Structure 1
Amino acid sequence: MKTIQDELAQVYAFRELNRIDQLRVCNEARDQGLTQSEIARRLSLSQPEVHRILRKIDSFPELLLRTPREVILDFHAERLGHEAMMEELLNWSYTYSEHAEPGNPESELISGSWESVTDAFLRDLIDVEDYERILHTVSGEGR
């Protein structure tokens, strides 16, 4: 039986995955030659909203890439089993925060893929045992 925390995590996962799927399908539809108006009609969105989505993709194409965050969300949405999630997370080539302007101690940090794992842990989307197992493997102790 699911706990209320599991149900909340699942609702959150569905919402976030729908947003990611919307980005990808809008991009794919544009690549296949559909107009913004056609995409909007089929998704029940306004044409200006589709325009904003496509502009966001053009500015940040990395939003279309799979991330550890998406892997964890797939687990909560029951698109992926626990072992499959762990397998993917344990074998991920993580990146880490770095300064936007190296050498400038006041520059902003750019997040790496590892931050999505720590964020998921802080949001209770992965438990302590999974987090420690991933951390142990990533830090080289488990390899």
Structure 2
Amino acid sequence: MSTMDLSREQVAVELDGVAARLRLDNRALLKAVAQAQRVGMVHREIEKHLDVSQSTVHRLLQKAAADPRALDTRPTDIIDQRAAGQIRTEEMMNRLLNWNYTFGHTPTIDGTATDAYEQGSWDDIERAYYRRLLTEDEVSQLMERNKDALERAARGK
């Protein structure tokens, strides 16, 4: 098939898959570098294995140290695995339907709301829907399964 035979939709699906693989690879890189440091590898040793600069290794380690939660698996990883063709829709939905979601909020200090927003794992679901990585039906299923938690979050409890 030549590139002339491809539709915009086919190309868009391919782009979504490439983007998902890129995000997954970047998270895998971050996790691998943090793990290498935990087992005692020095920057130079890590950079040689990865064929990246020492500054890249340093930047990744700073990112992991600044936000250790960045190393945790998130719903977006599962959604990206489906977009990348690594898992089927049924497995993705099973894992997402059984996820224990957290909900974003505005932190307070001494009773005063800050100007920050702390994301929750449900934010991944919303972003994936707006980016068309989840269908309306898939989000509806997730909302139905998490109805009580969503209502509590909406009330701020």
TM value normalised by structure 1: 0.91
Letter in 2 for 1:134: L
Residue 85 in structure 1 maps to residue 104 in structure 2: no
Q: Which residue of 2 aligns with 1:29?
A: 36
Give me the whole-angstrom Cα distance separating, in 2, the residues matched to 1:14 and 1:78.
9
State the shift of 1:105 in Å: 3.8
Find 1:7's aligned residue among 3, 14, 20: 14
CA contact (8 A) 1:75 1:81 kept: yes
Give the AA of the match of 1:20.
R
Report 1:97-108 matches (<5 A). 97-101=104-108, 103-108=111-116
Q: 2:107–2:114: 8 Å Cα contact kept in structure 1?
A: no
Which of structure 1's runs of 4+ aligned residues deviate more than 6 A? Answer: none
User: Structure 2 unaligned runs (5+)?
Assistant: 1-5, 149-157
Note if contact 2:103-2:122 (Cα within 8 Å) is conserved in structure 1: yes
Deviations 1:19-61 (A, max 9, x none): 1000011011112222111111111111111011111111110
Normalised to the residue count of structure 2, the TM-score between the two structures is 0.83
Per mean C-alpha deviation after superposition, the further-off stretch among 110-119 and 92-101 is 92-101
Partner of 1:45: 52
Cα-Cα RMSD: 1.9
* CA distance 1:31–1:106, change in 2 (3 Å): closer
Give the length in aligned residue pairs: 141
**Distance between the aligned counterparts of 1:79 and 1:88, measured in 2?**
14
Query: Which residue of 2 is the match for residue 111 of structure 1?
Result: 119
Bigger Rg over Cα = 2
CA distance in 1, matches of 2:57, 2:88: 33
The answer to whether the 8 A contact 1:101-1:108 is kept is no
User: 2:139 & 2:79 partners in 1: Cα distance?
Assistant: 11
Distance 2:10 2:99 in 1: 29
- Show structure 1 runs of 5+ residues with no match: none
